[in-house]
Amino acid sequence: MGSVFITGASRGIGKSIFEAFAKDGYTVYGTSTTCEGVAVIEKIIDNCGCEGAGLKLNITQDDVDETIKTFLKDMNPPSILVNNAGVTDDALLLRMKDFQWDRVIDTNLKGAFLVTKSLLRSMLKEKHGRIIFITSVVAELGNFGQGNYSASKAGIEGLSKSLAREVSSRDITVNCVAPGFIETEMTKVLPDDVKLRMAENIPMKKFGKPEDVANAVRFLASEQAGYITGTVLNVNGGMLMS
């Protein structure tokens, strides 16, 4: 088994992805912005009996490259990268503050760029790699009060397609997984009537589970997906049909 680097690995979808790779015996490296999150990551590693480590990392900082280099100095460079870390800061466009726009774009889009750039060098050297970005159904649909979030996720999809063209000749694939409404800590706090109304807009009439997203990521990271690049794999219960 190889090694995988996952950002935002301590909760929600990221945690489920991290657990999936850990249970499969990969060497797993996961990031969180807090010490508590790192402790969660390292507990998963202990429970699964695999190799790996947690890293406290703010992916918006300019020293991302140096921090990751130092962290991985005595470790095998990851052949799989999952860019999952992201934030929301919702507001109607006319009421959205500049700092709300900047926070979401800097974390979701610039942060993914910085982490990818840092880990891409070793993949190019090895002439093999898998890069997977977690985007969202709102990249295509948009969402009320989420202009910044929708723009960041649409930007990631554009970034992934451009990068796929740049690195495909080195046997590096670049893809996106775009979840719809998924059962996470954020959706659990919603009132039941709100969740019911949201589910009515989903052809399958239910929210997905984090494991559904993790399964899609595992597929795109596998050798079976070696001829798939520059694509967006939708995991949304049919919200987008063409």
With both helix axes pointing from N to C terminus, report the angle between 64-71 and 111-126 in degrees, rounded to the nearest 10: 50
Phi and psi at 58, nearest 5°, equal: -100, 105
Contact in structure between 14 and 8 (CB atoms under 8 Å): yes
Quick one: pLDDT at residue 198?
A: 84
Radius of gyration of the chain (CA): 17
Beta strands in 52-194 (DSSP E): 52-56, 80-83, 129-134, 172-179
Which of 7, 11, 39, 6 lies closest to 24, judged by CA?
Answer: 6
The whole-angstrom separation of Cα 206 and Cα 198 is: 9
**pLDDT of res. 240:** 82
pLDDT score at 242:
52
The three-state (H, E, C) secondary structure of 158-198, written as one string: HHHHHHHHHHHHHCEEEEEEEECCECCHHHHCCCHHHHHHH
Catalytic residue (choose from 26, 29, 149, 227): 149
The structure's pTM equals 0.95
DSSP label of 107: I
* Distance, CA of 53 to CA of 50 (rounded, Å): 10
Residue 149 is a catalytic residue: yes
Give the whole-angstrom CA distance, residue 71 versus residue 233.
Answer: 31
Residue 2 DSSP code = -
Rounded CA-CA distance 5/31 in Å is 8
**Which pLDDT belongs to residue 79?**
97
Residue closest to 168 by CA, chosen among 225, 229, 117: 229
Task: List residues bridging with 176 in a β-sheet.
Answer: 133, 232
Taking the chain (242 residues) in runs of 10, the rounded mean pLDDT of each run is: 95 97 97 98 97 96 94 93 96 97 97 97 97 96 94 98 98 97 80 84 93 98 97 94 62
Asked if residues 172 and 131 have their Cβ atoms less than 8 Å apart, the reply is: yes
Looking up tokens 């451009």, which residue turns up?
Answer: 162
- Return the number of other C-beta atoms located less than 10 Å from residue 78's C-beta: 23
Predicted pLDDT of residue 196? 87
